């Protein structure tokens, strides 16, 4: 059975603590380079802060975790890659990045509308001895390649192996949970199979509070957000409203 893995992130529950960012980096052996900045660092999960731009007690802020949206249709990073280093896994819907094929041209970074891809500017390095603390399920990527969120693909492999060992063809949903989902102290990030109409995440994605960033592009991102606060939903909708022509065109692609 083919799955369409995706997320629903409840922005009303996000406190912007950053646990997801650190847990993601630890799981995926992302180095913390002393010279890295917001421009040159690697943050496959990045929490951004936005406000309603009001003053005084009326001011409200919300934190938006941004990760690869795993676009389903006309995936921009796939179509621009000259090396076939990016592909959408037909079995899972996960947009995969293969560092062994990547030549570091960064076309995909330019094509990504969400700025969710990062370039490895430097050799991965850790202080002496710290390599003993790396996660053996994930290979260290080399300098000169692009990387991004892959929904903790190593955990999917582990879940598949566990299912195979038990003689099952399908994985148990509880065995495949990305690190950021597991780390969230308020359970704001939900992960599941969007193709399964009985999956709670699939049902959440169809709720009236759910929305997607830059939905007007028509790339069918598989990361949804939800909020009961009207100004947060309006913020996402206003992005579409700025260019209604593009939105209409996107629907006809």
Partner 1 sequence: MKVTRRDLLVWSAGAAAGLMVTPVPWKVLDDVSIWSQNWPWIPQPPRGPVEVKQSSCTLCPNGCGLRVRMVGGWPVGVAGVASHPVSRGALCPLGFGAHQLNWHPQRLRAVRHRGNTSTWGEAHAAFAKACSEGPVVVIDGWPGRAASQVLENFAKSRRGEYRVVLSPETRALLPYERWSGAPATSLGYDLENAQTIVSFGAPLLDGWGAPGRFTRLWAERAAGMTDPQLRLIQIDATLSRTAARAWRWAPVRAGAEAALAAGVARVLLEEHLVASRGPMPHTTSAEAADQTGLTADAIRDLARTIVARGPVVALANDDNPAIAALNVVLGAVGTRGGVVRRSKTAKSYVAADAEIRSARAVLINSSVPWDFVPRTDAEVFRFAAWDGGSSKADWLLPAPGFLEELTDVPAAPAMATETYAVAQPLAKAPHEVRSAAQFLAGIDASLPTAEKIIRARCQDLFHGRAGTLCAQDQTPVSKVASAQKLEEQLWNGAVWVGEPFRAESFRCELKEWPTVAASVPSQNWLSSWSAPILPPLASKVFQESDLRERPEGRIA
Among 77, 188, 201, 223, binds partner 1 (CB under 8 A): 188
* Residue 166 within binding range of partner 1, rule CB under 8 A: no
| Minimum distance of partner 1 from residue 98's CB (angstroms) | 14
Q: How far apart are the first and last CA of the chain?
A: 27
* Residue 239 within binding range of partner 1, rule CB under 8 A: no
Please give the DSSP secondary-structure letter assigned to residue 70. -
* Residue 18 within binding range of partner 1, rule CB under 8 A: yes
Compare residues 18 and 247 and give the one whose CB is closer to partner 1: 18
* Residue 19 within binding range of partner 1, rule CB under 8 A: yes
Nearest-CA neighbor of 178 among 23, 16, 15, 22?
A: 23
| Minimum distance of partner 1 from residue 27's CB (angstroms) | 7
Using CB under 8 A, count the residues that bind partner 1. 67
What is the Rg, in whole angstroms, of the alpha carbon atoms belonging to the chain? Answer: 18
35-64: contacts with partner 1 (CB under 8 A): 36-38, 41-43, 46-49, 56-57, 59-63
89-118: contacts with partner 1 (CB under 8 A): none
Among 1, 90, 136, 251, binds partner 1 (CB under 8 A): 136
Residue span binding partner 1 (CB under 8 A) among the ranges 89-97, 119-127, 165-173, 199-207: 119-127
Among 73, 84, 110, 131, binds partner 1 (CB under 8 A): 131
Angstrom CA distances, 224 to 10, 71, 172, stand at 9, 11, 23
Compare residues 131 and 170 and give the one whose CB is closer to partner 1: 131
Nearest-CA neighbor of 178 among 27, 69, 10?
A: 27
* Residue 27 within binding range of partner 1, rule CB under 8 A: yes
* Residue 172 within binding range of partner 1, rule CB under 8 A: no
Angstrom CA distances, 40 to 18, 37, 103, 118, 247, stand at 18, 5, 18, 8, 32
- Contacts for 109-112: CB closer than 8 Å, 24+ residues apart: 109/146, 110/80, 111/76, 111/77, 111/79, 111/80, 112/68, 112/76, 112/77
Across the beta sheet with 189-193, what order do the strands follow? 189-193, 5-10, 223-226, 210-211
Residues contacting residue 162 through CB under 8 Å, at least 6 positions apart: 171, 172, 175
* Residue 29 within binding range of partner 1, rule CB under 8 A: yes
Residues engaged in binding partner 1 (CB under 8 A) = 10, 12-13, 15-19, 21-23, 25-27, 29-30, 32, 34, 36-38, 41-43, 46-49, 56-57, 59-63, 123-140, 142-145, 179, 182-183, 185-188, 227-229
């Amino acid at each position: 059975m083919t799955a369409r893995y995706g997320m629903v992130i409840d922005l009303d529950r996000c406190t912007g603590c950053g646990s997801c960012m650190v847990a993601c980096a630890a799981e995926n052996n992302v180095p913390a380079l002393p010279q890295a900045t917001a421009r040159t660092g690697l943050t496959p999960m990045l929490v951004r802060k936005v406000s309603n731009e009001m003053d005084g007690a009326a001011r409200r802020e919300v934190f938006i975790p941004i990760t690869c949206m795993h676009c389903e249709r006309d995936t921009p990073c796939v179509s621009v890659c000259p090396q076939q280093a990016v592909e959408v896994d037909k079995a899972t819907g996960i947009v995969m990045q293969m560092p062994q094929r990547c030549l570091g041209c960064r076309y995909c970074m330019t094509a990504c509308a969400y700025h969710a891809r990062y370039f490895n500017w430097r050799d991965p390095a850790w202080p002496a001895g710290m390599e003993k603390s790396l996660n053996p399920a994930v290979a260290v990527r080399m300098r000169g390649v692009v990387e991004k969120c892959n929904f903790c693909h190593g955990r999917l492999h582990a879940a598949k192996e566990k299912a195979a060992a038990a003689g099952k063809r399908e994985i148990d949903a509880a065995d495949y949970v990305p690190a950021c989902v597991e780390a969230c102290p308020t359970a704001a990030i939900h992960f599941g199979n969007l193709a399964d109409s009985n999956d709670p995440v699939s049902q959440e994605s169809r709720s009236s509070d759910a929305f997607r960033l830059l939905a007007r592009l028509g790339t069918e991102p598989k990361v949804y957000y939800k909020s009961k606060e009207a100004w947060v939903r309006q913020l996402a909708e206003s992005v579409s409203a700025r260019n209604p022509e593009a939105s209409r065109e996107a629907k006809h692609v």
